[in-house]
Structure 1
Amino acid sequence: MVAVEVLLGATAQHIVLAYAALVISIAIAVPLAVLSLSSRPVASVVMTAANLVQAIPSLAVVAFVVPLLGIGFYPAIIVLVFRAFLPIVKNTWIGLSTTDPTSVEAARGIGLTNGQITRYIRFPHAYPAMFAGIRFAAILTNSVAVLTAIIGSGGLGTLIFEGISGSNIATLLSGAVPAILIAVCVDRALGEVEARIQK
């Protein structure tokens, strides 16, 4: 059996690793989506780069990051940011760019600036798509955070890999079960946040 202190420490480290990366991804992706809305060249570059990164397998991203940044917690965050970026930026951009043109023109007609249109017209329309991207990215970072244990990130992945290498089912489940519960709880919490924002 895994000691309670070890399990709690690994769980806390896993949560910080996965969801610090998610917050960083949101902070980068949402402004880029807004910027892409006003510039087709920027949109083309951002979407192409995001699709390219997403097409690379997670293990390959880990292998690519290690020679550049080494191993440990912070290189693992970079890996997770790469993985979470595409669904957030793509879904946010789709939501913003598919706003009803009639609503946008009506807003311009009453004197709203582009910034006000984005804030009051486009974002409320984009919330369902944006939150779908964020929820998918949250599950993705939670699962890839397990994988980054192979480069010394710590967290629940360490327990899972220890259980696999030692054929110890108890240790494996000590890492896997909390990881699954975290994913479910975060997804439900984000669903509640989305529902409150859209009221």
Structure 2
Amino acid sequence: MVAIENILGATWEHLILTYSALFISIGVGIPLALISLRSRKIASFIIAFANLVQAIPSLAVVAIVVPLLGIGFTPAVFAIFLRALLPIVKNTYIGLSKVDESMIDAAKGLGLTEWQIIRHIRFPHAYPAMFAGIKFAAILANSIAILTAIIGSGGLGSLVFEGLASFNMDKILAGALPAIVLAILIDVSFTVIERKITPEALK
């Protein structure tokens, strides 16, 4: 049996790792989506770069950051950030750019600035797509956080890999089951937040 204190400690480390990377991905991804609105060339470049990173296998991404940043928490966050970036950038850009042009023209006719149009028209209409991207990124970050244990990130992944190394099923389950529960909670919580924030007309 694995001590409950060890499981709780690993779960806390896992949450810190996952959400640190997720918040950085959101903080970078949404501005990149806004920049992409300026021109199709910029959008094509940013989306192509994000697609390229996403195409690299997760294990390869984790391996690549080691010679660049070493091992430990920070390299693990960077690896997770790279994997979680695409769905946030892509979905946010799609949501922001698919607003009816007649609404944009009407807003301009009323004298709204570009930022006011983004804030009051584009963003509310983009919420469903944005939250779908963020929710997928969160679930992805949760799973990659397990893998980054091989570069010393700690968390639930350390229990899984220790269990695999020693053929200890208790340790494997002690790491895997909380990660599965967290994935379900992430999905449910983001769905609830999306429903509360999304305007009624778009539900």
- TM-score band w.r.t. shorter chain: over 0.9
CA drift at 1:135: 0.5
Which letter maps to 2:114?
Answer: N
CA drift at 1:41: 2.8
- Match of residue 143 from structure 1: 143
CA drift at 1:6: 1.0
The TM-score normalised by the length of structure 2 is: 0.96
- Match of residue 43 from structure 1: 43
Deviation string 1:2-37 (CA, Å, 9 cap, x unpaired) is 111111110000000011100000000001101110
The TM-score normalised by the length of structure 1 is: 0.98
Tell me, what secondary structure is at the counterpart of 1:71?
coil
Percent identity reads 61
Structure 1 unaligned regions, length at least 5: none
Aligned length: 199
Which letter maps to 1:196?
Answer: K
- Match of residue 29 from structure 1: 29
CA drift at 1:73: 0.7
- Match of residue 163 from structure 1: 163
- Match of residue 5 from structure 1: 5
Tell me, what secondary structure is at the counterpart of 2:179?
helix
- Match of residue 182 from structure 1: 182
Cα separation, 2, equivalents of 1:63 and 1:8 = 27
CA drift at 1:179: 0.3
Deviation string 1:45-91 (CA, Å, 9 cap, x unpaired) is 21111011000001111111001110001100000000000000000
Cα separation, 2, equivalents of 1:195 and 1:187 = 12
Deviation string 1:71-126 (CA, Å, 9 cap, x unpaired) is 00110000000000000000000111111111111111111111111111111111
- Match of residue 86 from structure 1: 86
Cα separation, 2, equivalents of 1:14 and 1:153 = 9
What is the root-mean-square deviation of aligned Cα atoms in Å? Answer: 0.8
